Structure 1
Amino acid sequence: MQDAVLAERLAGTRVLLCYGLLGEVIAGLAPVGLDYMGAQLAWLAGLGVAAQVVKLPTAAPVGVNAGRIAAAMLADPRPSILVGHSKGGLEALAALLRPGMAERCRGFIALQTPFLGSPVADLVLRRRPVLLAVHHAARLSRLGTGRGLRDLTTPVRQDWMRAHAAEIAALTAALPVLTLATDLGPEGGDWHDGIYHPLARWMLAQGAGPNDGLVPVASALLPGAQQKVLPGCHRALVTRGPGRDPVGVLREALRQLAPAP
């Protein structure tokens, strides 16, 4: 019954999902049991909500992909709700700051998005052989270039946020925006969490504070937006597994953005 009510509230609206870095690669592993936003997309389709994944080469620069998201919004006269995970949230925000785009949107949900950058991206950029390997792998697989990774570093993100602070403040005042962060916490969880624990401990040691293994909580909470912190690793809000409910997370977020009249 609750889903039916939500479907009514979303009638006439498209939900556009924006993958994070390498999201198209992870989503392609669904046949071997690795879900990535697939359960959320299937749930939306089951509600009869018009939903699609915006086709992005996820290692491309943020500005380039912002243009692709804006084009996807303009391709249909119906208003959109943008749901961006990680880097996809940065690109969705940049798209919404383009002239006329916020007026075509009913809301923006950012899941674990590094608005102020990721110390892990800083670490990779300091190791030139690793950066070159990422750059060439991205180009060969047509996912973008190493410039997309550079756009995730703390200096780049913080400079961008400062430069666009007034525009972001105006956006969050005019449009419902919800930002969700995750805190991995102490050891535990399944293999998804285990992958991120070493990086989470390293970031804590660097003074980055609570984090999900890739993004500090403080980085993922956009000033002026509605904010929420949940437990889990960097994929906790977009993958199924023990203790994770990506559909429930999206359901509650959409209820907040599309309240009863």
Structure 2
Amino acid sequence: MELLEEHKIPFKRIIVESEAPVKENARFIKSKLDKIKGPLLIISHSKGGLEFLEVLINHPEVKDRVVGWVTMQSPFRGSVLADYFIDGTVTKTLIGWAFYLLGGDISGMQSVGTAERKKYMSEHREEVMKVLGDVNFLQFITFIDAQDGRESLLESSRNYIYNRVGRNDGMVDIQSALFKDEQYIIVNDVDHLITVLDQERLDFYKDGNKSWDFDRIKHFRALIQLILEKKI
């Protein structure tokens, strides 16, 4: 955001309720985009990628305005971490209550489970392929391997996912985030949170590992340049 402000580039940050289902948030995003005039350059993070895909599939008038779309660490094929929480009786009950208190329900978690995403991708295969063919699209995917010391706030979830499906960023595995087998960048030593959280707020965890030295401004600038210049 600082980069855009510095260059006086107009932007709109759309904040959605993470606990809400994909379809519900997609409707909210669409309502916000309707108030923005002109071409759209979209950068979506995590579940936001699924929600914007839903917008593109159902609203071709939005798709026609998109000059570029960058997805960051989005679980297009679902999250095995979400499966863990929704499959167990105890964890499902606890998560259900937590979502209720936050104003949502467990369907928000279920909407990013692997079973739900597999069903969605199968039912909407033609629409998805058309979107991918029509939109200038770049996937930013990360993973973080085990290192000496504390390399991530998401070590425990990273290990859980790794033991089931392989390399991941602590929340999303590479294969889930790899929506299309082209137009992608995969970066090591970057977890799911460091791309969006303020680095200064994490200094108390820093122990010299390079994973904590991620430069969000340079990363953001590079992604914008790549998607607009199509150098991928």
Q: Tell me which interval the TM-score lies in, with the shorter structure as reference length.
A: 0.7 to 0.9
Matched, 1:204 2:135: no
Q: Share of identical aligned residues, percent?
A: 24
Kindly state the Cα deviation for residue 255 of structure 1 after the two structures are TM-superposed. 0.7
Does the CA-based 8 Å contact 2:19-2:108 persist in structure 1?
Answer: yes
- Which structure 1 segments of 5+ residues have no match? 1-40
Q: TM-score, normalised by structure 1?
A: 0.77
Partner of 2:141: 181
**Letter in structure 2 aligned against 1:212:** D
Note closer, same or farther for the CA distance 1:106–1:225 as it changes in structure 2 (3 Å cut): farther
Question: In structure 2, what is the Cα distance between the partners aligned to 1:257 and 1:57?
Answer: 27
After TM superposition, give the deviation of residue 112 of structure 1 in Å. Answer: 0.5
Pair 1:177–1:57, CA change in 2 (3 A): same
Task: State the alpha-carbon separation in 2 of the partners of residues 189 and 258 from structure 1.
Answer: 38
Q: 1:189 to 1:75 in 2, by over 3 A?
A: farther
| CA RMSD of superposed structures (Å) | 1.9
Deviation of 1:225 after TM superposition, in Å, equals 5.1
Q: Which residue does the alignment assign to 1:248?
A: 218
Alignment of 1:30-49 (within 5 A): 41-49=1-9
Task: State which of 126, 134, 153 in structure 2 corresponds to 1:195.
Answer: 153
Q: Which amino acid letter does the alignment assign opposite residue 132 of structure 2?
A: T
Q: After the TM superposition, which parts of structure 1 deviate over 4 Å for at least 4 consecutive aligned residues?
A: none
| Counterpart secondary structure, 2:64 | helix
Instruction: Indicate whether 1:227 and 2:184 are aligned.
Output: yes
The 3 A distance-change label for structure 1 pair 246 and 130 is same
Q: Note closer, same or farther for the CA distance 1:204–1:110 as it changes in structure 2 (3 Å cut).
A: same
Question: SS where residue 107 of structure 1 aligns?
Answer: strand
Match of 2:54 in 1: 94
Following superposition, the deviation at residue 175 of structure 1 comes to 1.2
Provide the aligned length of Structure 1 versus Structure 2: 216
Residue equivalent to 2:202: none
1:200–1:212: 8 Å Cα contact kept in structure 2? Answer: yes
1:117 equivalenced with 2:78 (yes/no): yes
2 CA distance for matches of 1:42 and 1:54?
A: 16
Residue type of the partner of 2:31? A
Cα pair 2:85 2:95 within 8 Å, conserved = no
Residue of structure 2 in register with 1:150 after alignment? 110
